[in-house]
Structure 1
């Protein structure tokens, strides 16, 4: 039986190879974007083909681990978003349910171009006819303009599903971005 609530510090491919096929309901990956970020333990400036080959390897492991009705979310930057989406669909047989834009206001300060303020989130499934999506969960439903603005009787009284652009503004929820609350503030391992 798999032990819960453990962190394994190891290569992701080796770690996944130690898990049973078809054992995962949901996988979320936020890999290095290969944009030259100075990590302590990872080279983030690989040749493009080398990076894509590496992505193909670890994503194939994710697909192997997913249950037949499993879901995979991938967070990635602009540089490889389109290529990885095609790879997931053509080479790995996944179906894209949603291409979400995650808009944030804490991007890097750029001196000679517009500051990047988004990432791509791909919602992929193994089987487009059999997957978990809690569309009727009241916790994720939001009021629609038809309900709030127009009083339209055709509006679903339960609300609607959120848009495919998600906004994260730390200034709106500052208690969630404190050093003791958020892993982003933990020092990297040397």
Structure 2
């Protein structure tokens, strides 16, 4: 694709991270074209993302959240799903907002494995993020087998009674359940990029494998460090997303280039 061509012509909007406000760019994504929406919006905690996107007061933040939700949900297919990362401070209000538009499947607690050091002396230390899992219809896509966690050999050996022989759940592993204990990306972590709230590939890949069919399309309105794009590519899915900060757009480009030959990545991020 040349710089002069329309990045949204035909399938030109696919496999791109567009450096623009999602509220603008979402208008050009065809309705009913997305299998899975993964949203990691600003949490309303005042973090510095190189702009003022996380510096809204409560009323403004919830109003903005409703705006992007109403812009993004029509892009989902009839059996599409949504995962949204949230802080406990706003998850009750946003869950209610989403319940008026979709069916809530799970509340997932991401235990970030924060070390027990220091913390508040006036309340319990917050060491988790809240993730909402929603679907548009009862027949939403969900592939549990793709995300089962294998049992170790000792556990399999302990289940040697005849009633367990050949049991699918024993051979393939167990359901990850709704508490995900996955370490946050500390400074020395091999995945860590220069982004303050980067999410682990393990979490996003689990979402994609479970809730987006092979070859399907994942939308992320707030790409940040590009983990959703990287995870989609690694899992054999297509993607589209938006990111306001041009520095993060370049970071995403670099992460994608690291996956494949540069000749295939030249137009991954468009201005």
TM, length-normalised to structure 2: 0.57
Q: What is aligned with 2:11?
A: 2
Deviation at 1:109, TM superposition (A): 6.6
Deviation of 1:36 after TM superposition, in Å, equals 2.0
CA offsets 1:130-186 (integer angstroms, 9 cap, x no match) = 11100233x534339xx5485263663333211211112258xx7643559xx9497
| Aligned counterpart in structure 1 of residue 46 of structure 2, from 25, 32, 36 | 36
Deviations 1:36-63 (A, max 9, x none): 2233212423222221111111111221
Partner of residue 64, structure 1:
74
Deviation at 1:16, TM superposition (A): 0.7
| Aligned residue in 1 for 2:33 | 23
Q: Which has the higher helix share?
A: 2
- Of stretches 39-48 and 19-28 in structure 1, the one that deviates more from structure 2 is 39-48
Counterpart residue number, 2:91: 81
- 1:168 is aligned, of 182, 187, 200, to 182
| Structure 1 residue ranges without an equivalent (≥5) | none
Relative to 1, partners in 2 of residues 1:118 and 1:38: Cα closer, same or farther, differing over 3 Å? same
User: What SS class does the counterpart of residue 145 from structure 2 fall into?
Assistant: coil
Q: Which has the higher contact order (CA 8 A, sep 6+)?
A: 2
CA distance in 1 between counterparts of 2:88 and 2:176 reads: 23
Structure 2 gaps of 5+ residues are: 1-9, 199-223, 226-244, 248-271
Q: Residues 93-172 of structure 1: matches in 2 within 5 Å?
A: 94-106=102-114, 110-112=119-121, 113-128=123-138, 130-137=139-146, 139-143=147-151, 148=156, 151=159, 153=163, 156-157=169-170, 158-169=172-183
Number of matched pairs: 181
Report how far residue 110 of structure 1 moved. Answer: 3.8
Q: TM-score, normalised by structure 1?
A: 0.79
Do 2:19 and 2:246's aligned partners in 1 also have CA atoms closer than 8 Å? no
CA contact 2:79–2:140 (8 Å) conserved in 1: yes
